[in-house]
Structures are given as structure tokens and as C-alpha cells.
């Protein structure tokens, strides 16, 4: 479903990704692990077309995403990709529910069906009673769960999550991991997650280890 081919990316004279190949199947939960500075976030950003590589390709269902125009790219990101960032990036002036519905609004209009889906997600995530609060009035774990709902609202082909449990305590981290497993098992959601959390990595279908911008074959 997603194919990464010979991806290279440098920042100035610093080579960050040095020829990355990767293939992710539909319905797969893949964990990317590796030391700080290995290039994990850079790879995830390129897979989600938040940035462009120096060379190489990312194919979604055989279509090269970097050949899309900027407006096509924006639409692609909005509908096909659900991002979960380490920092939740909820907008402070909107309620949690409004934050979650924002990508749906950008994709078109907020239908009754979307509202229903949002409320199903809140139920699943155990945050229904908190949806009318603004982010400042929510705990870190609640904020993170709403940001997961926001990533899912447009039913994206893939969820790209960058250390989603990095700021959570053990209990909330475990709940988030269970949620990812349910999304994969019950909804066939494709998920690529960067994590330092070895429990989450162990639960994934596949672990890939990135070191100095290349796959570490010795780890697998």
C-alpha cells in the first residue's frame, strides 16, 4: 500500500536519510524504532508529504505523492493521512470536539454522519464527557486521545504516529497502545508508529530499526 523507495534527505551538509526502502501493507501495524537523531521523524514527515526528499519516492497505492501539485498534496494529506504528533497540536481556542471535526470541515462539510463518527470515537477513547472542553482544561492523556480522534476523523488510509505515547504515563500509554491494536484488528487500520516504547514496539506486527538514516539489519 505504501512504498518508500531509495529515500534520501539532507539538512544542509547533514545526511539524515541515506537510502531508505520500505513497504507497508494495508492493515499492518509497523513500529519504527531507533536512537534519537536517527531520522525517524524525518522519515514519517516525508511519508506524510509534510516535506519533500532530495531524491527517492513515496508511493501510495502505486501513485507517487511528490508528483502531486500543492493543492492535490494538501487534499491528499487531509483525507488519506492521519497524523498523531508527540505534541498534540490541538488549537487552544476551540473545544476538543471542534478540534476533532476541523479536518472534516476542511475536507468538505461536517455532516451528521461525521458528528456521529466523532462521538463514536470519543466513546471508544473514553473521552465523551470531556468533548466540550478546551485543550487547556484537559489532561495530557485526554488531549492525546482527542488528537488521535482528529487523526481518524476522515478515515485515513494510514495513521502516522510520532511517539504518540511519549508524554503519557504508563497507564495512559498502555491504553493508547491498546487502542492502536484495536484499530488495526477491528478496523484494519494501517498504522506506522515511531516509538521509544518497547512494549508498543513489541506489540506491533513488525519492528524496523533506523540507525543513522539507514535500516539496521542486525536488529531484526
Ligand X SMILES: Nc1ncnc2c1ncn2[C@@H]1O[C@H](COP(=O)(O)OP(=O)(O)OP(=O)(O)O)[C@@H](O)[C@H]1O
Residue 38 binding ligand X, by CB under 6 A: yes
- Which of Mg ion, ligand X, none does residue 195 bind to, with CB < 5 to 8 Å depending on kind? none
Q: How far is the CB of 207 from ligand X (least distance, A)?
A: 15
95 vs 165, beta carbon nearer ligand X: 165
Q: Which residues neighbour 215 within 8 Å (Cβ) at sequence distance 6 or greater?
A: 20, 21, 208, 209
Q: How far apart are alpha carbons 47 and 51 in whole angstroms? A: 9
User: At what angle are helices 96-107 and 112-125 packed, to 10 degrees?
Assistant: 140
- Which of ligand X, Mg ion, none does residue 126 bind to, with CB < 5 to 8 Å depending on kind? none
Residues contacting ligand X: total by CB under 6 A: 10
- Binding residue for Mg ion (CB under 5 A) from 41, 165, 197, 209? 41
Q: Which stretch binds Mg ion (CB under 5 A): 39-47, 64-72, 87-95, 137-145?
A: 39-47
Q: How far is the CB of 42 from Mg ion (least distance, A)?
A: 8
Q: With CA atoms as reference, report the closest residue to 88 among 133, 143, 45.
A: 143
193 vs 203, beta carbon nearer Mg ion: 193
Q: How far is the CB of 19 from ligand X (least distance, A)?
A: 15
Asked whether the CA dihedral 73, 75, 80, 83 is positive or negative, the reply is positive
Q: Residue 193's beta-bridge partner residues?
A: 31, 161
Residue 36 binding ligand X, by CB under 6 A: yes
Q: How far apart are alpha carbons 210 and 200 in whole angstroms? A: 16
- Which of Mg ion, ligand X, none does residue 36 bind to, with CB < 5 to 8 Å depending on kind? ligand X
Q: Which residues neighbour 26 within 8 Å (Cβ) at sequence distance 6 or greater?
A: 1, 157, 188, 190
**List of residues contacting ligand X (CB under 6 A):** 11, 16, 34, 36-42
Amino acid at each position: 500500500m505504501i512504498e518508500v523507495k531509495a529515500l534520501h534527505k539532507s539538512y544542509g551538509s547533514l545526511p539524515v536519510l541515506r537510502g531508505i526502502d520500505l513497504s507497508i501493507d494495508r492493515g499492518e501495524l509497523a513500529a519504527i524504532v531507533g536512537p534519537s537523531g536517527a531520522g525517524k521523524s524525518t522519515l514519517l514527515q516525508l511519508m506524510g508529504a509534510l516535506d519533500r526528499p532530495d531524491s527517492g519516492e513515496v508511493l501510495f497505492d502505486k501513485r507517487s505523492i511528490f508528483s502531486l501539485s500543492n493543492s492535490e498534496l494538501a487534499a491528499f494529506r487531509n483525507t488519506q493521512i492521519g497524523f498523531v504528533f508527540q505534541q498534540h497540536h490541538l488549537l487552544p481556542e476551540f473545544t476538543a470536539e471542534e478540534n476533532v471535526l476541523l479536518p472534516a470541515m476542511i475536507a468538505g462539510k461536517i455532516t451528521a454522519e461525521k458528528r456521529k463518527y466523532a462521538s463514536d470515537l470519543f466513546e471508544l477513547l473514553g473521552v465523551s464527557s470531556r468533548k466540550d472542553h478546551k485543550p487547556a482544561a484537559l489532561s495530557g492523556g485526554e488531549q492525546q486521545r482527542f488528537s488521535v480522534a482528529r487523526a481518524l476523523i476522515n478515515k485515513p488510509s494510514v495513521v502516522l504516529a510520532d511517539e504518540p505515547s511519549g508524554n503519557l504515563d504508563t497507564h495512559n500509554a498502555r491504553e493508547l497502545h491498546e487502542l492502536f491494536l484495536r484499530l488495526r484488528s477491528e478496523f484494519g487500520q494501517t498504522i506506522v508508529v515511531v516509538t521509544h516504547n518497547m512494549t508498543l514496539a513489541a506489540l506491533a506486527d513488525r519492528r524496523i530499526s533506523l540507525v543513522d538514516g539507514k535500516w539496521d539489519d542486525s536488529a531484526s
